[in-house]
Structure 1
Amino acid sequence: MSHTVIVVFGKGKEYEFKFTQADLGGQTAEEARRWFDKEFVTLECEPSNPVGKVLIIDKVLNVAKYGGEARFAEAGGWAKDFTRNAALALGRDTVRVDVADFIIGY
């Protein structure tokens, strides 16, 4: 099975990452959610909804936003970790993380 994660920072600013099931390295969805929990704190993200629970979708969007476009443009280790963990945490083969419009599509 292949996975595609596209991170969008506006028109003409799309970064696509493709990987196989083997690239996930046996990681679980729970481990992916923990990665987002850690990055959310490390990047000092502000919750989208100051009242109530922060959902995994909010964490994915905020981590992408606070992580910044430059990391995705470089396509280095952090961006690859982000995309693998996004696919796992959200349980989808194709994920579109639209930071500019603050929405996730499948």
Structure 2
Amino acid sequence: MRSQVTVTWGETSTYRFDLEEVQPMPHDQARSWLDEQFTTLGCEPIRLTGKVLTADKVLCVAQAAGEEHFREAAHREWAMTFARATSAALAKPVVSVDLVTQSLGY
């Protein structure tokens, strides 16, 4: 089964992370990592109720980290951890994070 996370800022800025040969991250560890990044990067809840869904965290963390964290080799380890955490927290082997439309696809 294919396992991949794609993060895109538009047609010319798409980054694919192949997770086939990568050790899966446990679900609770993935949620914890996303929570930590959400706080560290100064993300704010996007819903008026203040409730933060896991999908919202994924979008906010990717947006706050910025495209350079996915593009530059110096941040490759962080980007792979993001991909692993995203796949595990959402319990989906294939995830598309579209920051132009602020949406996730499975």
The TM-score normalised by the length of structure 1 is 0.91
Q: How many residues are aligned here?
A: 104
Identity, in percent, stands at 40
The separation in 2 between residues aligned to 1:64 and 1:22, in whole angstroms, is 20
Residue in structure 2 matched with residue 14 of structure 1 by the alignment? 14
The separation in 2 between residues aligned to 1:35 and 1:50, in whole angstroms, is 24
- Asked whether 1:30 is paired with 2:32, we answer no
The separation in 2 between residues aligned to 1:41 and 1:35, in whole angstroms, is 10
Of stretches 58-67 and 74-83 in structure 1, the one that deviates more from structure 2 is 74-83
Task: Supply the RMSD in Å over aligned alpha carbons.
Answer: 1.4
- Matched AA of 1:97: V
SS of the aligned residue for 1:78 comes to: helix
Q: Point out 4+ residue stretches in structure 1 off by more than 4 angstroms.
A: none
Write the deviation string for residues 26-51 of structure 1: whole angstroms up to 9, x where unpaired: x3111101100000000001211132
Residue in structure 2 matched with residue 72 of structure 1 by the alignment? 70
Residue in structure 2 matched with residue 45 of structure 1 by the alignment? 43
The separation in 1 between residues aligned to 2:71 and 2:97, in whole angstroms, is 14
Q: Which runs of 5+ in 2 are unaligned?
A: none
Q: CA deviation at 1:12?
A: 1.2
Q: CA deviation at 1:23?
A: 2.1
Kept in 2: contact 1:2–1:21 (CA 8 A): no
SS of the aligned residue for 1:20 comes to: coil
